[in-house]
Chains A and B, each alone.
Chain A
Amino acid sequence: MNDNKKQLRIALRNCGFINPEIIDDYISRDGYMALGKCLTEHTPEETIKEIKDSGLRGRGGGGFPTGLKWEITRKSESDQKYVVCNADEGDPGAFMDRSILEGDPHSVIEAMAICGYCIGADKGLVYIRAEYPLAIERLQIALSQAREYGLLGENIFRSGFNFDIEIRFGAGAFVCGEETALIHSMEGLRGEPTFKPPFPSVSGYLGKPTNVNNVETFANIPAILNKGAAWFSSIGTEKSKGTKVFALAGKINNVGLIEVPMGTTLREVIYEIGGGIRDGKKFKSVQTGGPSGGCLTTDFLDTPIDYDNLIDAGSMMGSGGMIVMDEDDCMVAIAKFYLEFTLEESCGKCSPCRIGNKRLHEILDKITSGRGEFQDIERLQLLSQVIKDTSLCGLGQTSPNPVLSTIANFEDEYLAHVNEGKCPAGQCKALLKYEIIEDLCTGCTLCFRNCPVGAISGERRQPHYIDQSLCIKCGVCYEKCKFNAITLS
Chain B
Amino acid sequence: MSEISDHARAAVGEIDPVLLTIINNSFVNICREMGITMQRTAFSPIFNEGLDFSCVLFDRDTNMIGQAEFCPSQLAASLFIVRWTVEELGVDSFEPGDVVLHNDPYRGGAHIPEHSVIRPVFYDGELWGFVANVGHLAEIGGKAVGGFAADATEVFQEGLRIPPVKIVSGDRHNLDLWRLIMANHRTPRNTWGDLNAQIGSLRVAERRVIELLDRRGAELVTRAAGELMDYSERWMRAEIAAIPDGSYEFTDYMEDDGVIDAPVEFHVCVTIDGERMIVDWTGSAPQVRGPINATFGVTAGSVYNAVFHLTDSNIPKNSGAYRPIHIIAPPGTVVNVVYPGPSVGGNTETHPKLVDMVTGALAPVLRERVAAAEGASCCNFLFGGVHPATGEFYANYHLEGCGWGAKDYGDGNSAQILANGNCRNTPVEIFETRYPLETIEYSLIGDSGGAGRHRGGLGTRRIMRVGAGAEVTVSALFDRTKGPFRAWGLEGGLPGGYGAILVKRRGESGFRTFPEVFGTVSASKFTNVVLREGDEVLLDSPGGGGFGDPRGRDPAAVAHDVGEGFVSDEAARRDYGWEPK
Verify that A and B bind, or say they do not: no
| Interfacial residues, chain A to chain B (CB-CB below 8 A) | none
